[in-house]
Structure 1
Amino acid sequence: MPPDAKTRTPVTVRVFSQQLSSTPRGARLARRLVAERLDAWGWPYASELNEAVTLITAELAANAVRHGRLPGRDFRIRLTVTEGTVRVEVTDARGERLPAICPAGGEVEGGRGLVLVDALADRWGVDPRTTGVGKTVWAEIRDHEPVSAQCAAPRE
């Protein structure tokens, strides 16, 4: 391994970002946009990675709408593909309402979306916003080569 390999920062391959209304419609649109973007980038709709990232996005966007909403404030999704990782981020306006995994069972309604995120993601977490109010909840999945990259002709 070269000496600088440990200090090398990942190279961003693709980025998609969209601001959406903090409504159930906005959450549904977030899911759809991420699925479409991953398909366009080479991970077909029915691929394991597309389905996992889309489900994670749906859960995080639903939480942003349900728990992170402030009147008149939108939420933002950001999808980033770097060497080896697909990362989805959902930023909302409520920094004081941090996500927590609720135990299964009991009479609590909801609260199990993060259980799915935890099961599907290789890593996930929450970061306070550095500018303005709010927080960003993120999840990462190690990617697999997109179909288009697997089938590409060798470079000369």
Structure 2
Amino acid sequence: MSLRLSSTPRGARLARLLATEQLRAWGLPLDPARQIVAELAANAATHGRVPGRDFGLTLYVVGDTLRIEVTDTRGDAAPHAQSPRPDAESGRGLVLVEALADKWGVAPGRSPRKSVWAEIDVSP
């Protein structure tokens, strides 16, 4: 599954909903993949947003591994997990991704793009 979505909160919500439906169609567990998609899409819509440019969501399975990729057009802004202050209202997205995924990382794309990816073991 590969989609282009608007870099808005609505686009991020739609990414989560469409990913959930794809996971159901494939017969895969919804969590933690649904939460990872939500966090990566929200980050793309918030931190990777360039007005007028979309972000991409790609899901695919190879063997027993589900790979989630979210691509945006802010290749100059490499994300990293950081521990937010306890009273902070945001800043926990990549910390959650790091905790939920088996592996995750950032891959540069054709300028000005980057992809943030996460992999999850979906073996029965």
Task: Tell me which stretches of 4 or more aligned residues in structure 1 moved more than 6 Å.
Answer: none
1:42 shift after superposition = 0.9
User: Paired residue for 2:34?
Assistant: 54
Q: Which runs of 5+ in 2 are unaligned?
A: none
Query: 1:35–1:51: 8 Å Cα contact kept in structure 2?
Result: no
Mapped pair 1:23 → 2:8: yes
The amino acid of 1:37's aligned partner reads Q
Q: 2:20 aligns with which of 13, 23, 35?
A: 35
2:60 and 2:77 map into 1 onto residues whose CA distance is: 24
Query: 1:86–1:143: 8 Å Cα contact kept in structure 2?
Result: yes
Mapped pair 1:140 → 2:119: yes
Query: 1:91–1:134: 8 Å Cα contact kept in structure 2?
Result: yes
User: Paired residue for 1:123?
Assistant: 103
1:73 and 1:82 map into 2 onto residues whose CA distance is: 29
Query: 1:122–1:142: 8 Å Cα contact kept in structure 2?
Result: yes
TM-score by length of 2: 0.94
Q: 2:85 aligns with which of 105, 108, 112?
A: 105
Q: 1:63 aligns with which of 43, 56, 59?
A: 43
1:66 shift after superposition = 0.5
User: Paired residue for 1:91?
Assistant: 71
2:27 and 2:89 map into 1 onto residues whose CA distance is: 37
1:108 and 1:50 map into 2 onto residues whose CA distance is: 28
1:62 and 1:82 map into 2 onto residues whose CA distance is: 25
User: Paired residue for 1:72?
Assistant: 52
The amino acid of 1:26's aligned partner reads G
Structure of greater Rg: 1
Query: 2:84–2:90: 8 Å Cα contact kept in structure 1?
Result: no
2:86 and 2:18 map into 1 onto residues whose CA distance is: 34
1:101 shift after superposition = 1.3
1:51 shift after superposition = 1.6
